[in-house]
């Protein structure tokens, strides 16, 4: 199988996309930080179905890491990523070096209010500014018609949707379902940082919030169901539960309004690795 060309510069990417657009072809972009797994590939496959041309970007964005240690140990597996993308296949991989994305003199930040403030925004100051800035840049660089994002990062998906609406960016956002391992663990590049013992405990995060959501639907009190989920996660050997919250699915504000879609979102630490997950309630 031939792997897609890997472009490193914005000028090369633009030249390629201009050629496609001149022929009237629709362009989809799938932004990733690499260390690809089936979750990422499901986004690329969705783009492949909808668009004549598919770009996957691989860029470990330093601006969205609030912890330098986390940035340093983030997995980088470009060759394996290119081989996986060849199975989709995608048309091009855009993997720029940091100085191509943030050249000297770069001073602009895109900051989304409201939806980016609670939960991940509170726990990871600056994280969503980094995401919003790089996503805006990737849309500008790629001139894509559609952008593909995973529900795995539910809050991020809401932030990107808000950003596109607020700035009138000419790109349609497509949110794709969370892909899970057979035992329920949401696929994540961070899962490979778990110890073998940690990997066995990790599915409890999903199991516990699923149980809580079922209990709430069956009429149990929100607070009680959430407390039981947190206890189950701690009892399984997680180091810490950062949050489990039931929120309005769109605004991410606290919500007891059962007539509107709600989402349960959780973050917890296991083996020094921060895992997040979310489900509809
Ligand atoms: P990342 O490389 O972690 O920044 O993720 C890149 C994109 O893949 C984001 O839109 C994520 O939401 C999405 N993604 C990551 N894991 C999954 C998964 N398990 N299922 C679906 N989408 C995912």
CA angle 263, 268, 273 (to 5 degrees): 130
Distance 124 CA to ligand 1 centre (A): 18
Q: What is the pLDDT of residues 188-218, one digit of tens each?
A: 999 999 999 999 999 999 999 999 999 999 9
Last residue of a domain, one of 151, 176, 201: 176
Classified as helix, coil or strand, 250 is coil
Q: Is the dihedral of CA 229, 235, 238, 242 positive or negative?
A: positive
Ligand 1 nearest-atom number relative to CA 152: 12
Residues 42 and 69 in one domain: yes
Which residues are 277's β-sheet partners?
266
How much is the CA Rg of the chain, to the nearest whole Å? 19
Q: What is the pLDDT of residues 255-278, one digit of tens each?
A: 988 899 999 999 999 999 999 999
- Domain tally, the chain: 2
Residues 172 and 194 in one domain: no
Range of the domain at 275: 189-280
CA angle 99, 103, 109 (to 5 degrees): 110
The answer to whether 146 touches 138, Cβ cutoff 8 Å, is no
Model pLDDT, residue 225: 98
Position 206 in a domain? yes
Q: What is the pLDDT of residues 148-166, one digit of tens each?
A: 999 999 999 999 999 999 9
Residues 80 and 116 in one domain: yes
Ligand 1 nearest-atom number relative to CA 35: 2
Tell me the whole-structure pTM to 2 decimals.
Answer: 0.98
Does residue 40 carry a catalytic annotation? yes
């Amino acid at each position: 199988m031939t792997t897609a060309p890997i472009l490193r510069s914005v000028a090369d990417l633009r030249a390629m996309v201009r050629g496609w657009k001149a022929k009237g072809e629709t362009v989809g972009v799938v932004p990733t930080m690499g260390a690809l797994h089936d979750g990422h590939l499901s986004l690329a496959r969705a783009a492949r179905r909808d668009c004549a041309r598919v770009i996957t970007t691989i860029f470990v964005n330093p601006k969205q890491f609030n912890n330098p240690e986390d940035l340093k140990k983030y997995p980088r597996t470009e060759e394996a990523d290119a081989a996986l993308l060849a199975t989709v296949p995608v048309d091009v991989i855009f993997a720029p070096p940091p100085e191509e994305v943030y050249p000297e003199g770069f001073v602009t930040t895109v900051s989304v209010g409201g939806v980016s403030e609670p939960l991940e925004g509170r726990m990871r100051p600056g994280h969503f500014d980094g995401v919003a800035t790089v996503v805006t840049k990737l849309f500008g660089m790629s001139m894509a018609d559609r952008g593909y994002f995973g529900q795995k990062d539910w809050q991020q998906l809401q932030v990107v949707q808000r950003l596109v609406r607020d700035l009138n960016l000419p790109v349609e956002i497509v949110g794709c379902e969370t892909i899970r391992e057979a035992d329920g663990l949401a696929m994540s590049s961070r899962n490979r940082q778990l110890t073998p013992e940690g990997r066995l405990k990790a599915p409890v995060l999903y199991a516990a919030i699923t149980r809580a959501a079922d209990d709430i639907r069956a009429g149990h009190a929100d607070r009680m169901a959430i407390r039981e989920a947190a206890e189950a996660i701690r009892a399984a050997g997680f180091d810490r539960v950062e949050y489990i919250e039931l929120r309005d699915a769109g605004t991410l504000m606290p919500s007891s309004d059962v007539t509107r879609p709600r989402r349960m979102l959780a973050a917890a630490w296991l083996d020094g690795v921060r895992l997040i997950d979310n489900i509809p309630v």
